[in-house]
Structure 1
Amino acid sequence: MKVFFKRFVIPLLLVFIISGAVIYSTVDIHTLTNLTAFQPWSIVLALFCVSLGLTLDGTRLMHLVKISGEHITLGQAVQVVFGNYFLALLTPGATGGAVAQLMFLRHAGVPAGKATVLVIVRTLVSILFLICCMPLIFLHDAGILPGVDNHTLMLISVTAFVVIVLIVLAFRANALDYIVLRLTKRMGAKRGKKLLAFYRDLKTGVHLLASSPKSMVRIFFESGLSLMFIYAIVPCLLLGLGVTEADWYTVMGRMIFLNMLLYFTPTPGGSGVAEGGFVLLFADSVPAGTVGVLAVCWRLIAEYIPFFIGFYYTIKVFGKNFLHRQIDDSVEG
């Protein structure tokens, strides 16, 4: 019971506390007036968009697994997707999401080595798509991050893209092998072994993608469509509040920017950072007093509902005692 409380109840309490604090700190005399005009159909539309986005996330995983020479069904792919949401919200830096993906892929019959590579590649493809979007966002939305010039953000995003391309080319040419080996020799045995394993998996992933460029293009665009449908939750909610003349380019751009930041936040599932970032980016774009409520509704639909579905699948597949076992033991088992 102590382990269950620590691993499940405490993270959920943190989520409720953060959500309550965000709503409490953003309500004003206009909140009730604006919320009474809210149209319930927008919730249905938002749920439809996120369902479509998560389904596309599952199909791109199926196609990625197919490139590796393995096969999983859409049902198994969806379990991987929801399992990722479940453990990501329970672990610092969302590190448990990768563990959950490995567990479900192995349960679906994908060998451990390939599963590890697929998890890394799946994440990298999503990040690469978001990085490709950054210049288009910074060219359109001046002052997206207070205190930071857009030219600086543009330079950072272009540099990141160029670095990724150079690293991919270096992997294909085996140009980094010597550098990595020298680094591992200077580290302790344990840390060096982890770095070498990660480098090997990353290199294998690059070669895997290069082996089927046409399929990779399809996966890249599936990733983009999946993310766009998931981010479309916010435009749906805004339409429900009667916001019809918003700059939707800016709205979606800010959602992309925010979610890009969430890949690198240390909190479980981005809790706190996501809600705070949403308030910062959208406080001037939504009806008065509703930004906190919208932030919580967005997180509920985009993260917390998939979290509970992932919890269901995890218990169904791995048993009721799952949370009482060490995550590392679950992976090894």
Structure 2
Amino acid sequence: MQHDEKPRSAEEGRLWGRPSAWIVSVLLFVGLTAVGLTAVSSIFGGRIPSFDNRLVQPQTVVAILGFLIVYFLADGLRLYFVLRTIGARIRVHEIFPLVFINILVSNVTPLATGGGFAQVWYLRRHGVAVGASVAATTIRTVLAMLLIFTAAPLIQFLHPNASSEGVARITTQSLSGIILIYLAGFLIVLFRPFWIAALLSRVLGFAARIGLIGRQRCIRWTVAVQRETQEFSASFARFARGSRMFALAAVLATLIFLLTLFAFPALLLEALGQEVDWLKVIGTLSVVTFLMYFAPTPGGAGFAELAFAGFMAAQMEADELLLVVFAWRFLTIYIGMAIGVIVSFFAFRPKALAG
């Protein structure tokens, strides 16, 4: 046991880092969120909204709570079923604290980089091997990306008027082409990983020859690229060979999770008494979510609010835009982060870790 405690302490240090860095990241998230909301108000007009009592009507509260339960439940089950598909054993109730830990950590780290590390770290604490944890979290993320990247051009093709007018519409149509290129690249990585590894190795070799990087670094990065592309392909091979029932359940849970996420704004607009085209809203949010995958800020703060407003402005009154933007982020992100703070405190306190 003593031999195991020291590596774990070092691992904890690498994961959590210095408290000051986390404080700065949280303050950055809050600050950028405020900047984003202020920019929405300035760019798209409309007064600063007061709270609308229609959002707390009994039937609306019941609907929102139902959406939240499905949203968080599907989020946990999609990882659980992926783990079961690749043969990892974990009890279902142990997954759900990870839902909120992931929401918290991924939203206070740039490009959501901390979420993956936190999930692997947590799963290891509950008896899941590191390799299986990395494979499962990667597959869970890629399944969501595949559905999002497939949905956006498909909705654009089947329902061409689903996009907002003006710049947002042009952006949506352009993104459909980018998404298809991205999907093609994914398929190459999945089925011909050595092609990508060979290409990147040549690029790194060229960079080393012209002096952009050192020879030793070139070798390290080349080995890392080959290893990661092979592991990525192997992870999906394990998933494809696993239980079809669990694999189908993972895809279904991912689909339910995304549909709930995309439908939240439609629910809010309907509660505010507007005529809502649910397909139009869901299609628009699939594009907004796609864009958020590339936001460099913690949790997409600032960027998410502006992207949402830019694509949804044509679908609601200007005076209600800021309220809907905040309510959307509050329900899908802020509540989960607040619960994540509490769950993280209990999950990672010394007594829990020792157990």
Q: TM-score, normalized by length of structure 2?
A: 0.79
SS in 2 for 1:207: helix
Picking from 59, 77, 82, the partner of 1:59 is 77
Cα 1:78/1:296, change in 2 over 3 Å? same
Q: Deviation at 1:82? A: 1.5
Tell me how far 1:190 sits from its aligned partner.
4.0
- 1:64 shift after superposition: 0.9
Query: Which amino acid in the other structure matches residue 228 of structure 1?
Result: L
Residue of structure 2 aligned with 1:240, choices 271, 276, 280: 271
Q: How many residues align?
A: 318
Structure 2 residues without counterparts, runs of 5 or longer: 1-16, 209-216
Match of 1:288 in 2: 318
Deviations 1:256-314 (A, max 9, x none): 11111111111100111110011111112113311111111111110111112122222
Q: What is the alpha-carbon distance in structure 2 between the residues aligned to residue 297 and residue 278 of structure 1? A: 12
Q: Which amino acid aligns with 2:180?
A: V
Distance of 2:327 and 2:173 partners within structure 1: 33
Give, in whole Å, the separation in 2 of the partners of 1:253 and 1:162. Answer: 21
**CA distance in structure 2 between the aligned counterparts of 1:253 and 1:96, rounded to whole angstroms:** 28
1:111 matched residue in structure 2:
129
Q: What CA distance in whole angstroms lies between the structure 1 residues aligned with 2:32 and 2:195? A: 44
Deviates more, 1:247-256 or 1:134-143: 134-143
Q: Give the drift of 1:30.
A: 9.2
Of the candidates 21, 24, 31, which is equivalent to residue 14 of structure 1?
31
Q: Is the 8 A contact 1:85 1:303 kept in 2?
A: yes
Matched-pair contact (CA < 8 Å) for 2:189–2:233: no
166, 180, 184: which one pairs with 1:162? 184
Structure 2 counterparts to residues 119-138 of structure 1, below 5 A = 119-138=137-156
What corresponds to 2:292 in structure 1? 262
Contact 1:15/1:271 (8 A) holds in 2:
yes
What aligned pairs does 1:103-252 form with structure 2 within 5 A after superposition? 103-139=121-157, 140-142=159-161, 144=164, 145-146=167-168, 148=170, 151-171=173-193, 178-179=198-199, 188-212=218-242, 214=244, 215-243=246-274, 245-252=275-282
Distance, in Å, in 1 between the alignment partners of 2:344 and 2:54 is: 39
Calculate percent identity across the aligned residue pairs.
Answer: 22
Aligned to 2:349: 319
**Residues of 2 paired with 1:247 and 1:261: CA distance?**
22
Residues 72 and 108, structure 1, Cα contact 8 Å, conserved in 2: yes
**Kindly tell me: are residues 189 and 316 of structure 1, through their superposed partners in 2, closer, same or farther at Cα, counting changes over 3 Å?**
farther
Distance in 1 (alpha carbons) for counterparts of 2:160 and 2:61: 27
Structure-1-length-normalised TM-score: 0.83
Q: Is the 8 A contact 2:85 2:243 kept in 1?
A: no
Which residue does 1:95 correspond to in 2?
A: 113
Name the Cα RMSD after superposition.
Answer: 3.1
Distance 2:118 2:82 in 1: 17
The residue identity in structure 1 corresponding to 2:292 is L
The 1:59/1:13 distance shift into structure 2, 3 A limit, reads closer
The DSSP-based 3-state class of the residue aligned with 2:250 is helix
1:72 CA displacement: 1.4
> Aligned partners of 2:342, 2:223: CA distance in 1, in Å?
35
Instruction: Report Cα offsets for 1:209-248 as digits up to 9, x if no partner.
Output: 22137243332222111111122211111111001x2221
Q: CA deviation at 1:17?
A: 2.2
Counterparts of 2:248 and 2:135, CA distance in 1: 18
